[in-house]
């Protein structure tokens, strides 16, 4: 705090005047010898206390009045804000995420640019200024503020949805060893997702003042596509759409692929994720789904999909060396299009839908928790688990220790009670012929399975999935459950001779292959701003990367490690390279993170919670210039002080008269 007219601070000496009057007025009062003061004492005792309080109040008002008046006339200023001292460091953190382009009337990015100009014009020449964009771009410290302003003027918001984390870390490292006054302006639309899971430890140590400049819109309405993926059934897809508003919205979705288009009207319920089923008439490898609704993000409100390239599917068979695995393996490899890896349960280290679309578990041993978690995530992300129960599965283990330890890890469609040995061999009595797996066979399927017999299977309880096959004695032998983007098929028997002859029937490998075929059609999508690894590129010397706009970039690979890239615009990205297997191509559909469409803003209190120890200030929307100029000139404070002075003056006049009035009235009434 400083003063433009410090000479007026001498006025503070004036504080002593009422104090002196207060302290010495009585001593200077004429001494009068009176016959006795005992009657005065009686009178005075009643009034002296109140009189003293009243005198003190009036004295206090007078002192404050003089202080306020002196300070107001001295024109207070925030010297730090003026940056008049050397060694002042200012960093502008610019939120250039996709949401900054959102807006129905005014784009936050324009407000950001304006605010930056205003901040830069308020900063003194000697101050070092730097700018850090959320997307990663950095303008280093410089005293040439105009150059920084020019760069900000010409920059645009990205299609990414980064959090503040990298920018804050960068700012912390830039300020860490700097001495002097440090200030960071975060200019942002305050979109909630930008602030998720921030680690602010680094910035807490820099002793920096943080100013959050709000440039976002207060309210806006939006709906966004979260995901688009195929589900079991021929060319069936689910489109997940989030309606961020609270009201029901009618819109249309349009799927297009190589001239083929499907438009479907949809009614989207408010504040929730809506799952819309779409049936395409043809198998599309690649496509774009659009939401025909004005998108506040100012993009084309579309979502790109890319199905896995057709070709050989890879299956992971997990189990020990026993006959059941043999049957599973033999049923899988009977197809030329499918290859299988066999691993023991403890050998599962990397299991992702991209590596193995399907995992077949046959009579597995106990599975440790970290591996369970991997399998769980694998299914959530679109992987499929075909699970054959067997002798090794202890029902207790299966039910309580394996999948039911945590509710969210309960991936099985039912609980297993115990192995049931049938006194009379059982036959298949029910098949869900309407299910996509079996629909193409029609009723002929019963002919294929009429000689199939079962000696035993597990009895089940608490079934949460759909029963696909049931025996004539009522025991279900195939149950299906959807989990995330993946599925689980539970066979309640082991493909061994002692249990059944099903695995030896010609329909068995057909059924397994159909399962794998249907379940391997998941789409592969990625988000702008996240790293995409080009699988198989480790042995390639260079990768040719083509972005959705058709621009080609050659990435050299000198480390013999898989090449990665960070897509910055949505659309289809194509990476081409060649390795020992010949020419390879990885096509990825890249979309803007759906959270960017979320219009909800973070509150001041939530921000305070994030930056616990940091000195925070907030500049509301369109107030940057006003607040900064007021801060530097202190005019607002001066006006406030003058108002206070006026108020105190009036209060002093009124109170002193009121006190005298009350006192006289009270004494006249004999209350003392």
List, as one string, the DSSP characters of 274-331: EEEEEE-SS--SEEEEEEES--TT-S--EEEEEBPPSS-EEEEEE--SSHHHHHHHHH
Tell me whether residue 65 is exposed, middle or buried, using C-beta atoms within 10 angstroms of its C-beta: 0 to 12, 13 to 18, 19 or more: buried
Q: Dihedral, CA atoms, 122, 127, 132, 138, nearest 10 degrees?
A: 130
The token pair that represents 297 in the structure block: 């993000």
Span of 41-49, 304-312, 461-469, 481-489 interacting with another protein by CB under 8 A: 41-49
Span of 365-373, 457-465, 549-557, 657-665 interacting with another protein by CB under 8 A: 657-665
Q: Does 664 bind another protein (CB under 8 A)?
A: yes
Pick one of 24, 41, 267, 615: the residue that binds another protein (CB under 8 A): 41
Pick one of 9, 16, 20, 43: the residue that binds another protein (CB under 8 A): 43
Tell me whether residue 614 is exposed, middle or buried, using C-beta atoms within 10 angstroms of its C-beta: 0 to 12, 13 to 18, 19 or more: middle
> Least distance (Å) from another protein to the CB of residue 54?
11
249 - beta bridge partners?
268
Pick one of 1, 23, 37, 337: the residue that binds another protein (CB under 8 A): 37
For residue 514, give the nearest of 658, 384, 655 by alpha carbon.
Answer: 384
Q: Does 672 bind another protein (CB under 8 A)?
A: yes
Span of 43-51, 66-74, 358-366, 417-425 interacting with another protein by CB under 8 A: 43-51
Pick one of 9, 23, 44, 497: the residue that binds another protein (CB under 8 A): 44
Cβ proximity to another protein, 582 vs 670, nearer residue:
670
Cβ proximity to another protein, 54 vs 227, nearer residue:
54
Q: Does 52 bind another protein (CB under 8 A)?
A: no
Q: What order do you get walking across the sheet with 272-279 strand by strand? A: 223-231, 236-243, 272-279
Which segments within 103-233 are labelled E, that is strand?
128-133, 138-142, 181-188, 209-214, 223-231
Tell me whether residue 117 is exposed, middle or buried, using C-beta atoms within 10 angstroms of its C-beta: 0 to 12, 13 to 18, 19 or more: middle
- DSSP, collapsed to helix, strand or coil, labels residue 139 as strand
Which residues lie below 8 Å from residue 608, measured CB to CB, with a gap of 6+? Answer: 616
Cβ proximity to another protein, 26 vs 125, nearer residue:
26
Q: Does 668 bind another protein (CB under 8 A)?
A: yes
> Least distance (Å) from another protein to the CB of residue 42?
5
Q: Does 38 bind another protein (CB under 8 A)?
A: yes
Q: Does 46 bind another protein (CB under 8 A)?
A: yes
Q: Does 40 bind another protein (CB under 8 A)?
A: yes
Span of 21-29, 105-113, 565-573, 588-596 interacting with another protein by CB under 8 A: 21-29
Q: Does 23 bind another protein (CB under 8 A)?
A: no
Pick one of 15, 19, 47, 355: the residue that binds another protein (CB under 8 A): 47
For residue 361, give the nearest of 420, 318, 391, 314 by alpha carbon.
Answer: 318
Cβ proximity to another protein, 612 vs 668, nearer residue:
668
> Least distance (Å) from another protein to the CB of residue 20?
15
> Least distance (Å) from another protein to the CB of residue 658?
14
Pick one of 7, 31, 250, 554: the residue that binds another protein (CB under 8 A): 31
Give Cα separations from 188 to 3, 111, 231 (angstroms). 32, 9, 39
Q: Does 42 bind another protein (CB under 8 A)?
A: yes
Position of tokens 């639309």?
Answer: 189
Q: Which secondary-structure segment (H or E) carries 535?
A: none
Pick one of 4, 267, 369, 660: the residue that binds another protein (CB under 8 A): 660
> Least distance (Å) from another protein to the CB of residue 664?
6
Radius of gyration of the chain (CA): 38
DSSP 8-state class, residue 436 = T
d(CA 289, CA 287): 7
> Least distance (Å) from another protein to the CB of residue 17?
18
By CB under 8 A, name the binding residues for another protein.
25-27, 29-44, 46-47, 51, 660, 663-664, 667-668, 670, 672
């Amino acid at each position: 705090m400083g003063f433009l007219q410090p000479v007026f601070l001498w006025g503070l000496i004036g504080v002593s005047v009422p104090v002196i009057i207060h302290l010495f007025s009585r001593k200077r009062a004429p001494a009068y010898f009176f016959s006795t003061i005992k009657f005065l004492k009686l009178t005075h005792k009643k009034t002296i206390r109140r009189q003293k309080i009243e005198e003190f109040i009036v004295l206090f008002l007078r002192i404050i009045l003089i202080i306020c008046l002196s300070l107001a006339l001295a024109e207070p200023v925030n010297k730090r804000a003026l940056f008049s001292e050397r060694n002042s460091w200012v960093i502008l953190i610019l939120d250039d995420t996709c949401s900054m382009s959102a807006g129905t009337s005014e784009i936050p990015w324009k407000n950001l640019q304006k605010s930056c100009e205003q901040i830069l014009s308020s900063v003194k020449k000697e101050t070092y200024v730097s700018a850090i964009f959320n997307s990663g771009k950095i303008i280093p410290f410089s005293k040439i503020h105009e150059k920084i302003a020019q760069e900000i003027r010409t920059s645009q918001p990205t299609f990414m949805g980064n959090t503040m984390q990298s920018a804050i870390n960068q700012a912390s490292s830039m300020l860490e060893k700097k001495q002097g006054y440090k200030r960071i302006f975060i200019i942002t639309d305050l979109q909630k997702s930008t602030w998720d899971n921030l680690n602010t430890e680094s910035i807490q140590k820099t002793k920096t003042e943080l100013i959050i400049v709000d440039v976002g819109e207060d309210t806006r309405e939006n709906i966004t596509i979260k995901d688009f993926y195929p589900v079991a059934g021929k060319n069936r897809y689910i489109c997940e759409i989030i309606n961020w508003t609270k009201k029901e919205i009618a819109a249309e979705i349009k799927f297009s692929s190589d001239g083929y288009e499907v438009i479907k009207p949809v009614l989207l319920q408010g504040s929730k994720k809506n799952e819309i089923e779409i049936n395409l008439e043809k198998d599309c490898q690649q496509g774009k789904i659009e939401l025909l609704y004005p998108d506040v993000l100012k993009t084309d409100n579309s979502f790109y999909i890319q199905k896995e390239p057709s070709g050989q599917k890879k299956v992971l068979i997990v189990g020990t060396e026993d006959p059941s695995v043999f049957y599973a393996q033999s049923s899988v490899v009977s197809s030329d299009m499918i290859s299988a890896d066999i691993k023991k349960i403890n050998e599962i280290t990397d299991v992702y839908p991209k590596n193995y679309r399907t995992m077949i578990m046959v009579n597995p041993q106990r599975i440790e928790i970290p591996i369970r978690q991997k399998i769980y995530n694998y299914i959530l992300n679109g992987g499929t688990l075909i699970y054959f129960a067997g002798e090794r599965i202890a029902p207790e283990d299966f039910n309580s220790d394996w999948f039911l330890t945590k509710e969210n890890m309960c991936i099985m469609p039912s609980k297993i009670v115990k192995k049931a040995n049938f006194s009379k061999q059982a036959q298949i009595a029910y098949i869900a012929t309407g299910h996509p797996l079996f629909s193409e066979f029609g009723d002929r399927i019963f002919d294929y399975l009429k000689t199939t017999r079962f000696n035993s299977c597990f009895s089940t309880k608490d079934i949460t999935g759909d029963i696909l096959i049931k025996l004539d004695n009522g025991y279900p032998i195939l149950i299906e459950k959807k989990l995330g983007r993946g599925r689980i098929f539970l066979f309640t028997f082991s493909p061994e001779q002692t249990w059944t002859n099903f695995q030896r029937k010609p329909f068995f490998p057909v059924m397994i292959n159909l399962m794998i075929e249907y379940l391997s059609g998941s789409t592969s999508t990625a988000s702008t701003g996240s790293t995409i690894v080009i699988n198989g590129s480790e042995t390639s010397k260079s990768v040719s990367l083509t972005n959705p706009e058709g621009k080609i970039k050659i990435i050299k690979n000198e480390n013999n490690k898989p090449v990665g890239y960070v897509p910055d615009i949505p659309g289809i990205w194509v990476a081409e390279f060649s390795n020992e297997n010949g020419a390879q191509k990885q096509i990825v559909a890249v979309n803007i993170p759906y959270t960017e469409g979320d219009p909800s803003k973070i509150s001041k209190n939530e921000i305070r919670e994030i930056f616990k120890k940091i000195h925070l200030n907030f500049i509301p929307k369109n107030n940057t210039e006003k607040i900064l100029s007021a801060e530097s000139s202190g005019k607002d404070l001066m006006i406030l002080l003058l108002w206070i002075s006026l108020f105190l003056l009036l209060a002093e006049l009124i109170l002193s008269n009121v006190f005298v009035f009350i006192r006289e009235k009270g004494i006249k009434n004999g209350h003392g």
